[in-house]
Amino acid sequence: MPRATQFHSSRRRGIRALSSALGRSARLALLALTTLVTLATASQRLPAQAAASSASAPPIAPDLYRQLHWRTIGPEGNRFTSAAGIPGDPLTYYVGAASGGVWKTVDGGVNWQSIFDEQPVQSIGALAIARSDPNVVWAGTGEAHIRSHISIGQGVYKSTDAGRQWTLMGLEQTGRIARIAIDPRDPNTVLVCALGHAYGPQPERGVFRTTDGGATWTRVLHVDENTGCSDLAMDPTNSRILFAGMWQFEIHTWGRTSGGPGSGLFTSRDGGVTWKRLSGNGLPRGPVGKVAVGIAPSNPDRIFAMIETGDGIPWDGQPTENGQLWRSDDGGTQWALINRDRNVMGRAHYYSRMMVAPDDADEAYFLTASYARTIDGGTNVTIVPRGKAPGGDHHDIWIDPGNADRQIVAHDQGLSITQNRGRSWFRQRLANAQIYHVTVDNEIPYNVLGNKQDEPSYRGPSNSRVQGFGGDGGIPRGMWHSVGGGESGWATPDPTNSKLIWSTASGSGMVGGIVVRFEEDRRQFRNVEVWPQQSNGPASGVKYRFVWDAPLLISPHDHNTIYIGSQHVHRTTDGGQSWQVISPDLTLNDKSRHGELGRVDPRQHRRGVRRRGLRDRRVAAREGDHLGRDKRRAGPTHARQRRHLDQPDEEPPQPARVGLGAQHRRLALRCGDGVPHGRLPPGEQPRSVHLSHNRLREDVEEHHRRNPAQHAELRAHHHRGPQAARHAVRRHGERHLCVVQRWRAMAAAAERPAARPALRDRGAGTLRRPGDLHLRAWLLDPRRPERAPGDDARGDRAPGHPVHAARGLPVPPHHRTVHHLRRPDHR
């Protein structure tokens, strides 16, 4: 017998002999003592082993990452912003997602294919198909439906082979494209309605025109650098007649400014070469805001204009009109106010789209949170009941000009198709879920948790024995379920008890500042909010101000300690029974600009050190757990103020250095330099860090093996450099890359992943590869999941989730949003 085996056998015999001579209590005490000694010895060995393994790991060859592939795991569905079809073809439709590219169906919506994945931008604002050549498809990028969290674009794209290949045709600086109008007789004559990025003044706003298929462009309508185009309509019987809505608008970190002297209604009678502002003759006087326009195809002299007014409330000392819908019956010369119903144009910045039925000038559809219809020319507007409406939060509608019964509507829940003029709808949700944040727990297989746009937080397994949504190892719909919270919050499992989940809530019927504790075993929610009064509304009227995605943190040093940020940092140590304010107001406390915390972070290596990213201008750091001990504030404190800064993860070797990412380009564009700011020691001003192209990511996470410029280079390709750090992924993309460490591994979530090889915004996804376990790539789940048809987990709906019509959606082999990496020394 080998010596080691003899030793262990002898030790076991000795323990048995000793235990037989002792009583039951003594044996239990001996067992407990032995267990404690074993655990203590193991805990001393593990860090040293991990450090030695980490130091000895060889660099990873970039070519190995080409072996990695993606699989979607869900959940499904979210916002589509544009829709288009081919007249006379009931099987072909195109839809554009808010941040998930362009999708196409050729079988009436039964199956859909994502056709825009290879492009570097995935936010779609407008789609148009040439009536003279249905193979010519135009896509304008950048979402023009304005809300708190939206993505910008990178110009206009064209396909001449029905969406198989795309070419960037310019206008990269326009930011957001709201409409595209194509001459029905000439596919090379196109007009583009550009809103602009809207974060500040810029010249690339207004209406642009090309007559050579996009080779050259002319800006034909421009009011000023603060005003962009919100809508564009072409007379279907005479392409020389056009109407455009112009919108003076600016996005701030604390809100939006809509309206001013730049807004108004314009018309062209020469194909868009020259334009004239329409005023008087029944149109509203004084400053107005967003403008939408529609032309009746059966009677082009009838023009509808939806105009955002001040509802009679003075604006900047000037009186405003009170109305929603105006109409002209003589081609735009004389106008009349016909409706003041806010259901026509409620929440104008996010909705405000209309279309007139092609066969009836009295029938029109108005898209807002609800779905409204008129059959008497706009005098009376009826809200279609929710169960009979296409969906909720509607954004675009396309009606077949030759068959008004056939319509497609894009909305926040997905898309809906009708073949009977809206009496019934075929509702579908595709693999384009918008996940605000992603966390994971320590179950086996571990679960992925995320907050889904317009819905609560969801929890689902990373692996399952059955094939589910999307195929190729996806998770069945029935295995995803709500764990509380709201669309924009955080779903964070307790690190010692994965059945206990903390979530914040905002939006979708929630109000800011709500904190929910969810117990998985009981499926029980409990509201443990910081303050009992609602925290929505004007900042001057609330006690605590919470950002849309209020930060929630479980202390890595004590899982019973929970932090949440308003303008203060709040802490609970008793499961939310009570909350303590442990910081002063860390913002500028300018209630006219709101001001709240965007992030609350602990330091992993030292207890009680927190940093906070603020939504006005400050980044704060504080040592210790008690108020009054060594509080510090770090810049930027110069003129670059009132910007939204999200504080990133710290740099391990130099804890004081951080990288600052400007969310949605707000900091960069408002400062005019187009770059984020990084490497910020305490008390020092930030310096610029170069990013290629014209887009900024939302978060910048710095690692000690990469300087800020290298680490912030997150565009164009999915790759990893040979010296890549253990917990940092070099990734090109459009928006947000967050890294979540998890027991020997990590999960990373990108709101819009790489151009190659992944699709964008397909909900959550996990990384796999086709075998080859000996490759030295850092993988957690490199193999295909097992599949067992007929498993009890196979289901088509989650608890409380609406029934979905989509079935068997094809998903290409490269996926998506969450990926997992494992160190090679941990098999």
Q: How far apart are CA 444 and CA 279, in angstroms?
A: 66
Enclosing H/E stretch for 52: helix 24-56
Please tell me whether residues 478 and 380 are part of one structural domain: no
Per run of 10 residues, the mean pLDDT along the chain (length 827 residues) is 41 44 43 41 42 55 74 85 97 96 96 94 97 98 89 96 97 97 97 96 97 98 98 97 97 86 97 97 92 98 95 78 93 96 88 96 96 96 92 95 97 95 94 88 91 87 72 75 82 93 72 78 87 74 84 90 92 94 89 79 57 46 32 33 39 34 30 36 45 38 33 29 29 32 32 30 46 28 28 29 30 32 36
Check residue 86 and give its pLDDT: 98
Q: What is the CATH number of the domain that holds 394?
A: 2.130.10.10
Q: Do the beta carbons of residue 506 and residue 548 sit within 8 Å? A: yes
Please state, in angstroms and as integers, the Cα–Cα distance from residue 243 to each residue in 304, 362, 586, following that order: 10, 19, 48
Parallel/antiparallel/unpaired status of strands 403-411 and 414-418: antiparallel
Beta bridge partners of 739: 748
Check residue 535 and give its pLDDT: 67
* C-alpha torsion angle, residues 189, 190, 191, 197 (rounded to 10): -140
Q: How far apart are CA 66 and CA 770, in angstroms?
A: 11
In a domain, 340, yes or no: yes
Check residue 79 and give its pLDDT: 92
Please tell me whether residues 415 and 382 are part of one structural domain: yes
Q: Do the beta carbons of residue 71 and residue 85 sit within 8 Å? A: no
Please tell me whether residues 288 and 390 are part of one structural domain: yes
Please tell me whether residues 203 and 308 are part of one structural domain: yes
Please tell me whether residues 243 and 282 are part of one structural domain: yes
Q: How far apart are CA 174 and CA 614, in angstroms?
A: 28
In a domain, 521, yes or no: yes
**706, two tokens:** 């990469």
Number of domains in the chain: 2
Please tell me whether residues 414 and 519 are part of one structural domain: no
- Predicted TM-score (pTM) of this structure: 0.74
Please tell me whether residues 423 and 462 are part of one structural domain: no
Measured in whole angstroms, how far is the alpha carbon of residue 584 from the centre of its chain?
31
- Tens-digit pLDDT profile for residues 537-588: 677 788 888 888 888 899 988 999 999 988 899 999 999 999 999 999 988 8
Q: How many other CB atoms are found less than 10 A from the CB of residue 791?
A: 16
635 residue type, one letter:
G
| Greatest Cα-to-Cα distance within the chain, rounded to the nearest angstrom | 107
Structural domain of 761: 62-72+432-822
Helix (H, G, I), strand (E, B) or coil at 62: helix
Please tell me whether residues 477 and 558 are part of one structural domain: yes
**753, two tokens:** 């992943």
Check residue 331 and give its pLDDT: 97
Edge-first strand order for the sheet with 552-554 is 552-554, 562-565, 569-572, 580-581
In a domain, 90, yes or no: yes
In a domain, 336, yes or no: yes
Domain boundary pick from 370, 404, 428: 428
* C-alpha torsion angle, residues 761, 765, 766, 770 (rounded to 10): -80
Please tell me whether residues 502 and 368 are part of one structural domain: no
Q: How far apart are CA 621 and CA 783, in angstroms?
A: 43
Q: Do the beta carbons of residue 580 and residue 574 sit within 8 Å? A: no
In a domain, 12, yes or no: no
Domain boundary pick from 399, 428, 457: 428
Q: What is the CATH number of the domain that holds 501?
A: 2.130.10
Task: List Cβ<8 Å contacts ≥24 apart for 344-349.
Answer: 344/306, 344/368, 344/372, 344/378, 344/381, 345/290, 345/292, 345/306, 345/307, 345/308, 346/370, 348/258, 348/289, 348/290, 348/308, 349/145, 349/146, 349/147, 349/249, 349/256, 349/258, 349/290
In a domain, 511, yes or no: yes
Check residue 826 and give its pLDDT: 37
In a domain, 29, yes or no: no
Helical H segments across 475-593, by residue range = none
In a domain, 736, yes or no: yes
Please tell me whether residues 141 and 99 are part of one structural domain: yes
Q: In terms of Cα–Cα distance, which of 313, 307, 402, 295 is closest to 359?
A: 402
Domain boundary pick from 428, 453, 476: 428
Please tell me whether residues 407 and 457 are part of one structural domain: no
Please tell me whether residues 256 and 391 are part of one structural domain: yes
